[in-house]
Amino acid sequence: MRKSMCLLLLLLLLTSCGVADKDASPSPQDKQSEQAAKELSVKGNRQIRQMSAQDQVANNNELRSGETAVTGNEKDVALKDHFEQLAKRVPGVKGAHCVVVNNVAVVGIDVAGSLDRSRVGTIKYSVAEAIRKDPKGVRAFVTADLDIGNRLTEMGKHISQGHPVSGFSAELADMIGRIIPQLPEDTKPGGNR
């Protein structure tokens, strides 16, 4: 029973990762997010902080030193650091954790626990827009979930240690273990027989 539930959950997870049709009609949610972005730009009080001259010099030096022998993994690590710094400059973001694979970034952000849900959504949108508009921008998935953010941190540690597959599979197993309920049929008494 447990194996079939795990398989079903894995299949649902894989089928939900489809590619959206670019020619599809816009959803009402897209219109709402566009309106929110326009309101933010009109209000002007929630803009992304600009990098100071020192930050720009440090960032350029870091990227230049990485450009000499940048290969797949090194490029992803440089992008990871860059996107984390980019996310941290968005007002309301306390910290950021990022995992980059090819042209997809998953960013976990830390925000104050006292923020309401709509404000957290606005912050997530701002981070995603900042990454999308960046010259090195990739497709970004932003989450403010604390557990997923911690798991992204652990995945990043595994990747930097040279164990990307085992790190990903271990964290995925932990996530699935939290989602799947414990069923009475799965438990067997361990008492004296």
pLDDT in tens, 17-45: 665 555 555 555 555 445 545 544 444 44
Q: What is the pTM of this model?
A: 0.51
Would you kindly state where each structural domain of the chain is located, as residue ranges? 73-186
Spatial separation of the C-alpha atoms in residues 130 and 61, rounded to whole Å: 21
DSSP-derived letter for residue 51 is P
Dihedral-angle region of residue 65 (phi above 0 means left; psi in -120 to 50 means alpha; beta otherwise): alpha
- CATH assignment, 73-186: 3.30.70.1350
Residue 102 tokens, joined: 């090819």
pLDDT in tens, 62-108: 444 433 334 456 776 788 889 899 999 999 999 998 888 778 888 88
